[in-house]
Amino acid sequence: MRAIFIADAHLMLPDDTNYRLLLRFLQELEGKLDTLYIMGDLFDFWVGFPSHPLTHYDAVLDALERLVERGCRLVYFEGNHDFHLGSIFSQRLKAEIHSGPAIECVQGKRLYICHGDQINREDRLYRLLRFLLRTRLVAAGVRHFPPSWAEKIRERLQKRSQAGYSVKTARWDYRQIILDFARSLQSEGCDGLVTGHFHLALREDVPESSFAVLSLGDWMEQFTYGEMLDGELRLMSYSEREP
């Protein structure tokens, strides 16, 4: 059995390196994968507008559909750049969609799986924004937004994200925040944590335990992802496998 975890590709344009490498990676996975966990922010911006103005992502959607047709289970954890995913994911791709964390048994291990944007409880301003964006009112409003709003919303979210990332990484020790959160999960009977969001690539065990911690890095510059094979959780790098 094989499961893949990937997060934070922040795909924008088909000619971008990360976009092209992801398409190649997905093609290589066809028929070789039990479950693909998309752990949020696959796209730099995605909201499921009914009119689907985000056609520059069609190649990725087609690649995901081929995986599903070959028997792959698709599980999507919404991020802070992709939420209210809409019918393309729920109906066409038959994805299991999570708006927040979930505990799932993967190859006999109880894993706490999340995008990760709720782990840092001190980031109160973001947590408030997250709550507001995921209200039923916003979800209902998406159906009535004109398609021209898609690019405006994307630009605003991108500027906010870029401006805040360097400030937050200087303010907080993300590795320590992740490890402290992992320790709190042990009391819930979990065997591991898989998270995205932080763009931090690490695979560690909590000291004095067998609790596995996997932070996925990103598919922008690091091209890292997670793999669960025969019960072993590993951090992988796709760039190492390029021809």
Express each pLDDT in 85-107 by its tens digit.
Answer: 888 999 999 999 999 999 999 99
Summarize the confidence of residues 202-216 as an average pLDDT. 92
Extended strands (E) in 58-145: 73-77, 96-98, 102-106, 109-114
pLDDT exceeds cutoff 70 at 145: no
- Mean model confidence pLDDT for the chain: 87
Please tell me the predicted confidence (pLDDT) of residue 83: 84
If one counts every other C-beta atom within 10 angstroms of the C-beta of residue 219, the result is: 25
DSSP structure string for 142-159:
HTTS-TTHHHHHHHHHHH
pLDDT exceeds cutoff 70 at 25: yes
Question: What Rg do the C-alpha atoms of the chain give, in angstroms?
Answer: 17
Number of domains in the chain: 1
Instruction: Write the pLDDT tens digit of every residue in 94-141.
Output: 999 999 999 999 999 999 999 998 898 777 676 666 666 666 666 666
Question: Phi and psi (nearest 5°) for 158?
Answer: -65, -45
pLDDT band, residue 57 (cuts 50/70/90): very high
Q: Within 13 Å of residue 84, how many CA atoms lie on the same side as its CB?
A: 20
Residues of the domain holding 233: 2-241
CA–CA dist 37, 73 (Å, integer): 8
Bridge-based pairing state of the strands 73-77 and 96-98: parallel
Instruction: Taking each helix axis as running N to C, give the angle between helix 17-29 and helix 58-69, from 0 to 180 degrees, rounded to the nearest 10.
Output: 10
CA 124 to chain centre: 21
Please tell me the predicted confidence (pLDDT) of residue 157: 65
Biggest CA pair distance of the chain: 54
Report the range of poorest mean pLDDT among 38-52, 65-79, 178-192, 214-228. Answer: 38-52
Q: Give the Cα-Cα-Cα angle 45, 50, 51 (nearest 5 degrees).
A: 85
Structure tokens given for 6: 């990937």
Q: Are 47 and 134 in contact (CB under 8 A)?
A: no
Please report, for the chain, how many H helices and E strands are present, in that order: 7, 11
Q: What is the CATH number of the domain that holds 45?
A: 3.60.21.10
CA–CA dist 200, 235 (Å, integer): 11
Instruction: Write the pLDDT tens digit of every residue in 174-200.
Output: 999 999 999 999 888 899 999 999 999
Q: Is 176 helix (H, G, I), strand (E, B) or coil?
A: helix
Q: What percent of the chain has pLDDT over 90?
A: 63
pLDDT exceeds cutoff 60 at 163: no
